[in-house]
Amino acid sequence: MVPIPSEARLFTGDVTHAPDWDAVLRLFQPSQIVHLAAETGTAQSLSAATRHGSVNVVGTTQLVDALSRAGYIPEHLILASSRAVYGEGAWGFGADVFYPPPRTHAQLSAGHWDPKGPDGVSAAPLASAASRTEPRPTNIYASTKLAQEHILAAWTAAHGAGLSILRLQNVFGPGQSLTNSYTGIVALFARLSRARQSLEVYEDGRILRDFVYIDDVVDALFAAVRQPSTDARWFDVGSGVSTTIHELAAMTARLCGAPDPRVVGKFRDGDVRAAKCDIRAAVDELGWRPEWALEDGLLALLDWIDNQAERTDVPGDLSVLTS
């Protein structure tokens, strides 16, 4: 664990428990609140909907209720949201844009990976941007993150507080759980490759993601803190670079000297085909820019894994390869 700075005060509690919020607000009344607490399992949320709804949605309503009970309105709230709120996002064919419905089990079983445009025409994914892309969640986790956004947008508008919502792409880096497969594909691939296992790549290997290193995300959050908003604003935070899952697997295997990855054609219900984002709003308005390339971040993650004092067995659940 990273040492806590002497200037910081640590209060351990439960975001769904009202007395814990009340106790915190009796101790101090911050001018800004950064809301990070969340359950984050995309596939896991399908079988743990109550837990995701409780932590993500009720945890957020408990926050604003506690502020109301305390009679205190912070100047600015910051929410770590997710690219998952976009669902499949917007796709384009020619000059036209459409929003495909969630991919069905039957579609995936037939190996029809890419959404099709009207009349079955081929289409390509477009970079999501909060200013132009409609949120259309396709899983329970994503729905709870969008609910967080709506709750805080309504509360801050009614109370005259500023709000910054950062929709994060696939975050990775040191500090990720190495025993919970649901915390992300990069850590899972790193663990398996370090064990010299051949990586299984789902679908046709061309699932698309934007992997952003944790230090860049922290920098984006601090940029929002340093430049508080007086109203509501949304930003997309990623590396700005799209990577296929096969490219990620091949890079990880190469760095670890592991066997070549295998494209196995398996799939996971609820996964979106492509996730990519336009980071220009964050760059222009916050003065933020990602600094970490994917390979550099992978090397840092692998170095951290190698230096963990306590080693555990490689997770056996490989059904979470695109979280």
For the chain, give every domain's residue range: 18-311
| pLDDT tens profile 148-174 | 999 999 999 999 999 999 999 999 999
pLDDT digits (tens, 9 = 90+) for 246-279: 999 999 999 999 999 999 999 988 889 999 999 9
For the chain, where are the E strands, in sequence order?
32-35, 76-82, 91-93, 96-98, 124-125, 162-168, 170-172, 200-201, 208-209, 211-213, 232-237, 243-244, 262-263
Token representation of residue 155: 């509360």
pLDDT value at residue 183: 63
| CA distance between the termini of the chain | 24
Q: Looking at the domain 18-311, which fold is it?
A: Rossmann fold (3.40.50)
pLDDT in the model for residue 72: 96
Cα–Cα distances in angstroms (integers) from residue 146 to residues 35, 81, 83, 184, in the given order: 14, 8, 10, 20
Residue 141 a catalytic site member: yes
In this prediction, residue 281 carries a pLDDT of 98
What pLDDT was estimated at residue 319? 40
DSSP letter assigned to residue 118:
G
pLDDT of residue 309: 45
Kindly name the residue from 86, 141, 182, 213 that is annotated as catalytic.
141
Locus of tokens 């607000």 = 25
Angle at 139 between CA 137 and CA 141, to 5 degrees: 95
Our CA angle for 296, 300, 304, nearest 5°, is 170
Low-confidence ranges of the chain (pLDDT < 50): 309, 313-323
Angle between helices 59-70 and 18-27 (to 10 degrees): 50
pLDDT score of 322: 47
- Reading the block at residue 137, the tokens are 């969640």
